[in-house]
Amino acid sequence: MKINEITAQAVGKWDYIFQSLGIEVGNGKHCPCPVCGGKDRFRFDNQNGRGTYICNQCGSGDGLELIKNYCQCDAKEASSKVVECLNLSNQNNKIRENLVFRKIDSEQLHNDNIPDNPVCKRVEYLLSKATLGQSQYLTKKGLTFDLPLLDNGRIFVPMLNLHNEYAGGQFIEPDGSKHLMKNSNKKSAFILVRSILSRPAEVCANLLAHNEIIICEGLATGISIAEFRQQSIVISAIDAGNLIHVAKSIRELNPTTKIIIAGDNDIGQSPNTGLAKAIEASQAVDGYYSVPDTDYKCDWDDYRQQFGSDNASAHFNKNLIKPELPTVTKLNMQNELSSMNLSQMASSQRAELLNQYYDNNLAINLTTDEIYHYQDNAWQPISDKLLMRTLADLFTQSGEPFNPMRISSAVESLRLSLPIMGTPQKDLICFKNGVYELKSQTFRPHNKQDWLLVSNDIDYYPVKENESFDTHAPNFAKWLKRASGNQDKAKNILAALYMILANRHDWQLFLEVTGAGGSGKSVFAEIATMLSGKNNTVIGTMDALEKARDRALIVGYSLVILPDQPRYMGSGAGLKAITGGDEVAIDPKHKQPYSCKIPAV
């Protein structure tokens, strides 16, 4: 098709075309120019549907002219982009059916719930234009690895973040020069080296599945490390300054994984940026760092090229160092406090100090406006009074006076700055030494991002051969036989105990345990408390479940025991609502009333 035919087909469709290409033109009002930037120098007037625009710096033109300037291409290539956006037939640009390298399917990308924003659209478009292949850039380095290549042979790799979206992309020319895609948000963004084309929605699951994550600066460095460190997942943080931001994001997602910062040795610079940033990032996440021990400027790709993968692997392991942590902890807090001036700090700074005292393991529940503390493998409410007393103790240790206003304002600032608690992960059973996943039927370490509210002191052990209650828990077997009297009732008791252990409040049931004195009711309650954990168990009455003020006492607990009840004449509406999974009114003393579901058995 001729260019004039293409532009004729595009009349009235430029809004869609620009959106598909990730070109932000606003809604007809003054806004930043997509080509030269600015603040309000650009206006998309779209006269006669031709995509016309006016920029005080770039000048004016039609839709095709804007694409030429934005993509830095000629009219022929710009018209080809319009053809693809409108799905027009272009006989001069047929796609070869015997293409060796697979194309990235842009329609599939759209089906991954990727946010509808200009950066993501631009990444999708560039990936749809790319083919996987061996680049000149890697060939010169002696590496064999398929990367997305654009028509001119330059590499384009998408940058990801932990918010299920593309954060931008990096271009690498055949000569090794690099630059970021326009409007990329580099902070905390990264390239997943072994899985360059991972969908954003897959990233978090991928990172959670590994117990060792290596973060380096450049892409080639990451590919080299992946070659000799195959058991690890490798991430490129783009540059040294972004190492700490990526490391903190990964640590927030996966608190238990081993994080290694593979730094560059920028010897000859003052300071040695690569080494300094590697140490800083590893300290921030309680991780490790490894830097080539050379007397010349060197990264791990340089080292592999010079000495080979086997020697690079051995040298990497030899130089693996866990740095001393400079952060304020409970052990050295008193020494650090002597050099601080708590009285002169802003409320937000005192709040940060308080959070640091609790090892940054605090979060806010927006529903209840309560602060939770991750300890003993579960998130547990921590009272404002305890937080205030802790901060008062820090003032006392520093030798400075304090007043209640300073203390309470710091706690309120803390409430505003803390991360928001997520929804507790379902289908997990929490044990003292880890969690059991019901879906995959596997056991794994604890992860605070599971947001579990239940913990106990029971260790999990894999099933032994021919294991049974009679042989491995004879006392429990005797009690079960005595309390049940028959096999069907025994199964009911075991199901009830499982409901408590797995916190299956979603079954929308409550357990009514009846029987004569000495029949085993109290023993059942003790076993239930052990399975749920004493810290997660509360005693109440049927009458208390009916009142919003009294219900506040059971919020945050996973097991509510209503022992021998006095005669009750109510309808049981509170019990029905709580076990039915309905929201109920909560009226805590001296706090704002609210409503929530109570996930308790």
Q: Where are the beta strands (DSSP E) in 377-535?
A: 378-381, 428-431, 434-437, 442-444
pTM: 0.45
How far does the chain reach from its first CA to its final CA, in angstroms? 69
Distance CA 130, CA 143 (A): 20
Q: What is the pLDDT of residue 393?
A: 86
Q: pLDDT value at position 288?
A: 93
- Give the whole-angstrom CA distance, residue 238 versus residue 218: 5
**Which tops the pLDDT comparison, 428 or 290?**
290
Domains of the chain: 3-93 (3.90.580.10), 106-318 (3.40.1360.10), 333-417 (no CATH), 423-462 (no CATH), 469-596 (no CATH)
Question: In angstroms, rounded to a whole number, what is the distance separating the alpha carbons of residues 401 and 550?
Answer: 38
Q: What is the mean pLDDT of residues 501-507?
A: 87
Element of type H or E holding 284: helix 273-284
Which residues, at least 6 apart from 175, have a Cβ–Cβ distance to it below 8 Å? 137
User: Cβ(160)–Cβ(192) under 8 Å?
Assistant: yes
- For tokens 């905390």, what's the residue? 188
Beta strands 288-290 and 362-365 are unpaired
Q: How confident is the model at residue 572 (pLDDT cuts 50, 70, 90)?
A: confident
Q: How confident is the model at residue 91 (pLDDT cuts 50, 70, 90)?
A: very low
**CA 74 – CA 65 distance, rounded (Å):** 9
The one-letter amino acid code at 13 reads K
Whole-number Cα distances in Å, 272 to 267, 277, 292, 329, 491: 5, 9, 12, 28, 67
Supply φ then ψ for residue 386, to 5 degrees. Answer: -65, -40
Mean pLDDT within 224-249: 92
Tell me the C-alpha distance between 358 and 148, whole Å: 44
pLDDT over 70 (residue 330): no
Decide the pairing of beta strands 584-586 and 594-596.
antiparallel
SS (H, E, C) 3-17: HHHHHHHHCCCHHHH
CB 174 within 8 A of CB 194: no
- 593 Ramachandran zone, left/alpha/beta (phi>0; psi -120 to 50): beta
What's the CA gap between 191 and 198, in Å, rounded?
10
Between 16 and 223, the more confident residue is: 223
| pLDDT at position 116 | 65
Residue 457 CB partners (closer than 8 Å, separation 6+): 432, 530, 533
pLDDT of residue 490: 92
Amino acid at 341: N
E strand or H helix at 477: helix 474-484
CB 456 within 8 A of CB 530: yes
pLDDT in tens, 152-171: 889 999 999 988 889 999 99
Band (102; pLDDT cuts 50, 70, 90): very low
Q: Which of 43-47, 111-115, 552-556 has the lowest mean pLDDT?
A: 111-115
Residue 22 has pLDDT above 80, yes or no: no
What per-residue confidence (pLDDT) applies to 325? 58
Query: Three-state SS across 98-152?
Result: CCCCCECCHHHHHCCCCCCCHHHHHHHHHHHHCEEEECHHHHHCCCCCEEEECCC
Amino acid 326: pLDDT = 52
Tell me, what DSSP letter sits at residue 553?
G
Q: Residue 104 and residue 199: Cα distance in Å, rounded?
A: 11
User: Scanning the structure block, which residue is given the tokens 């300054």?
Assistant: 241
User: pLDDT for 60-75, tens place per residue?
Assistant: 888 888 888 888 888 8
pLDDT for 335 equals 55
Q: Which two tokens stand for residue 493?
A: 């008791």
Whether the per-residue pLDDT at 92 is higher than 60: the answer is: no
- pLDDT at residue number 306: 93
Please tell me the distance from the alpha carbon of residue 401 to that of residue 397, in angstroms, as a whole number. 10
- Give dist(CA 37, CA 31) in Å, integer: 9
Residues 6+ apart with CB under 8 A from 45: 28, 52, 53, 54
Q: Amino acid identity, residue 596?
A: C
Which residue, 510, 519, 516, is CA-closest to 540? Answer: 510
pLDDT band at 339 (very low <50, low <70, confident <90, very high): low
From residue 297, alpha-carbon distances to 16, 40, 181, 294, 396 in Å are 49, 45, 28, 7, 49
Token pair for 232: 């690890």
The two three-digit tokens of residue 189, written as one number: 């963004």
CA atoms of 235 and 225, how far apart (whole Å) = 10
Chain mean pLDDT for the chain: 84
Question: CA 402 → CA 31, 337, 358, 398, 528, distances in Å?
Answer: 50, 14, 20, 11, 45
Does residue 308 carry a pLDDT above 70? yes
User: CB of 454 within 8 A of CB of 380?
Assistant: no
Helix (H, G, I), strand (E, B) or coil at 381: strand
Give tens-digit pLDDT for 174-226.
Answer: 888 998 998 888 989 999 998 888 878 778 888 887 889 999 999 999 999 99
pLDDT bin (cut points 50, 70, 90) of residue 142 is very high
Other residues' Cβ atoms within 10 Å of the Cβ of residue 289 = 24
pLDDT at 88: 67
Sequence letter at residue 285: V
Residue of 387, 451, 394 lying closest to 424 (CA atoms)? 451
Tokens encoding 412: 């309120």
User: Would you say residue 327 has pLDDT above 80?
Assistant: no
Comparing 339-343, 410-414, 529-533, which segment has the lowest mean pLDDT? 339-343
Q: Is the pLDDT of residue 19 over 80?
A: no
Structure tokens at 87: 């799905």
Q: 497 or 466: whose pLDDT is higher?
A: 497
Q: Encode pLDDT of 362-406 as tens digits.
A: 999 888 888 999 988 888 889 889 999 988 888 888 778 888 888
Lowest mean pLDDT among 62-71, 108-117, 244-253, 588-597: 108-117
Q: What are the angstrom distances between the C-alpha of 389 and each of 268, 303, 383, 410, 547?
A: 50, 53, 10, 12, 31
Task: State the pLDDT at residue 331.
Answer: 45
Give the rounded distance of the alpha carbon of 38 from its chain centre: 33
Candidates 528, 590, 584; CA nearest to 558 is 528
If one compares 107 and 557, the residue with the highest pLDDT of the two is 557
